[in-house]
Structure 1
Amino acid sequence: MTSPQPETETYEVTLSTDEQWVAHALLASEIDDAIDDDETPPAWALELFDALEDGDGTTVLTSYQARRLVDAMTAYVDGSDAPEQDVVHGSAVVERLEDRLESRESMQ
């Protein structure tokens, strides 16, 4: 007998309009870069892009999507090309997601 598949952990995160915009633009860039390189865009980015487009400020992310967005956003805001406003709002997204990930891990 096989054991049931573990449920995918999800995180419900509310983002301001500016935070959504920075995340949306970052994901669009990730997707466009993959297409420009004749690669298939990462599924996590496509799914999250759609979730941001469909949402009303509250987005549900899987733990995998949250970690990937944290990594991508951190690289973006730490880069020298990011506008100051993007750094402020992108850093807030990273902080919020890291708090959610850490609080979930500490409960386990």
Structure 2
Amino acid sequence: MSSSPPETETYEVTLSRDEQWVAHHALSNRLDAALDADETPPEWTLEVLETIEADGDTERLTGSQADRLYDTLATYVDREETPPRDVSDATTVLARLEDVRNA
């Protein structure tokens, strides 16, 4: 008799259209950088992009996806060339990701 594999914990993160755009943009930049370096983009990047592009304003992310999105947005926020409006939206998403992970 075998046991069922443990279910992956997911987190619901609500994003506004602008917040979705910033997350999508930061993830797209990561994909482009991998392609420019002749590397295969990380699979998680495509998975999170698909989640964000799905209809609705609530994203269901695994813990690993939430962590990686957090790291991607934190890097994007720290870039000197990131527009102030993007920094504001990305910072809001970062706080929201922290909240759901610490709840």
| TM-score bucket (shorter structure) | over 0.9
Matched, 1:12 2:4: no
Deviation digits for residues 27-62 of structure 1, max 9, x if unmatched?
Answer: 111111111111111111100101111132111111
Code of the residue aligned with 1:57 in structure 2: it is D
Q: Percent identity?
A: 50
Question: Normalised by the size of structure 2, how large is the TM-score?
Answer: 0.92
Alignment map for 1:14-33 (pairs within 5 Å): 14-33=14-33
- The count of corresponding residues between Structure 1 and Structure 2 is 103
Instruction: Single out whichever of 20-29 and 77-86 deviates more from structure 2.
Output: 77-86
Gaps of 5+ in 1: 104-108
Aligned to 2:75: 75
Aligned mates of 1:87, 1:101 — CA distance in 2 = 21
TM-score by length of 1: 0.88
User: Counterparts of 1:1-108 in structure 2 under 5 Å?
Assistant: 3-103=3-103
User: Aligned equivalents of 1:57 and 1:30: distance in 2?
Assistant: 22
